[in-house]
Amino acid sequence: MSKVLLGDVAIERKETCKNGKEGYPVVGLEHLTPEEITLSAWEEGSGNTFTKIFRKGDILFGRRRAYLKKAAVAPFDGICSGDITVISAKSDCILPELLPFVIQNDDLFDYAVGKSAGSLSPRVKWEHLRNYEFDLPNIETQRQLAELLWAMDKTKKSYQEMIRMADELVKSQFIALFGDPIAIEKNAEYPLLGEVCTLKAGQFVKADDICAERQDDLFPCFGGNGCRGYVSSFTHYGEYPIIGRQGALCGNVQYVTGKFHATEHAVVVTPIAEMDRYWLYHMLVLLNLNRYATGAAQPGLAVNNLEKIHVSVPEIDFQRRFSDFAKQSDKSKFELEQALSELTATYKRIISENLG
């Protein structure tokens, strides 16, 4: 095993499209999924200003906001955003199948963040990335590592697909039993959400009072985008759906149990009518409340708009039956998520120990 620089085993592809872009798939930063090594999204068409060419097998590295950890292998030739650095392996220096794992490595991303310039939208240049140093084993070990890591990535995808299918099963079961909540949200024959539930924002908490790490004497604090951290006081005790009402993820719904603090950017939903709270949570999720957000720079949800949504409230026994089914599905999903988390941790450790 020897120490090498990234620039010793890879180059930046600087090829540009000089003719028509027809037939080329297009990849922007939004198509790269954080910490995912395979590309699963792109666009077709030439309605953009991108001219940077990438080739099948190249690594597409998101050079803007490197802390997002975006880097994926291109499964075809195409065109990408200027905020993506196209990295190609020197096949006589490194096994091309291994290079993606050198790139999709927490150590490299940390290095890239440290070399990034700019305050609002920091970017890192290839001239800095190329100086990243890492361990490179011999070719036979490279081959073994690549086979192992790609097999682990395939298993990760299988777990992710099973988790997605578990969510889809619960969603389809809800709609089969109670109908699609979106289909009746404007139907005046049904009661308003504000008539069967109270929707109330929480209390302001200073940013300095929020601890990032969980501690025994602190309580989870929920804001507009989910859990913000942990604080010394709680505003609620029990089981509640919470709607985030401010920020990029406004409209997201959490189901929270126990003692917690809700900030002014979180809406706690409390049933007035006889209602199973876990059933209510799933109904709110299926409403896709982000559609009600207004404002571009800082999207937000108005509580009075949420209160005007029409909802169906079936008999409590039917709600509870669905709730029992959903909880059983969630138990299976939790076990899958635990297995995925353990596999991901092992995957990262192998990369760090062998390519660090």
Q: Specify the CATH number for the domain of residue 227.
A: 3.90.220.20
pLDDT value of position 207: 85
Judge if 127 and 184 occupy the same domain: no
Q: What is the pLDDT along the chain (356 residues), one digit of tens a residue?
A: 789 999 999 999 998 887 777 778 999 999 999 999 999 899 887 677 888 999 999 999 999 999 999 999 999 999 999 999 999 999 999 999 999 999 999 999 999 999 999 878 899 999 999 999 999 999 999 999 999 999 999 999 999 999 999 999 999 999 999 999 999 999 999 999 999 999 999 899 888 889 888 888 899 999 888 888 999 999 999 999 999 988 878 899 999 999 999 999 999 999 998 999 999 999 999 999 998 888 767 788 899 999 999 999 999 999 999 999 999 999 999 999 999 999 999 999 999 999 98
pLDDT value of position 116: 92
Judge if 132 and 35 occupy the same domain: yes
Which of 100, 119, 136 corresponds to the end of one domain? 136
Residue 170 in any domain: the answer is: no
Judge if 199 and 264 occupy the same domain: yes
Residue 261 in any domain: the answer is: yes
Judge if 117 and 52 occupy the same domain: yes
Angle at 114 between CA 110 and CA 117, to 5 degrees: 130
Judge if 132 and 144 occupy the same domain: no
pLDDT value of position 46: 61
Residue 23 in any domain: the answer is: yes
Distance in angstroms (rounded) separating the CA atoms of residues 340 and 156: 6
Judge if 19 and 113 occupy the same domain: yes
pLDDT value of position 216: 84
Judge if 271 and 327 occupy the same domain: no
348: domain range?
137-161+319-356
Residue 172 in any domain: the answer is: no
Residue 30 in any domain: the answer is: yes
Judge if 112 and 39 occupy the same domain: yes
Distance in angstroms (rounded) separating the CA atoms of residues 96 and 118: 32
Please give the backbone phi and psi of residue 39, each rounded to the nearest 5 degrees, phi first: -85, 125
Structural element, H or E, at residue 170? helix 139-178
Tokens at 327, concatenated: 């909880």
Residue 169 in any domain: the answer is: no
Distance in angstroms (rounded) separating the CA atoms of residues 313 and 323: 14
CB neighbours (10 Å) of residue 195? 15
Residue 75 in any domain: the answer is: yes
- CB contact set of 281 (below 8 Å; sequence gap of 6+): 241, 253, 255
With tokens 């939790």, the residue in question is 334
Judge if 204 and 236 occupy the same domain: yes
Closest CA to 250 of 233, 263, 240, 234: 263
Judge if 99 and 18 occupy the same domain: yes
> Using the 8-state DSSP alphabet, how is residue 33 labeled?
P
Judge if 147 and 257 occupy the same domain: no
Q: How many domains does the chain have?
A: 3
Rounded to two decimals, the pTM is 0.80
Residue 236 in any domain: the answer is: yes
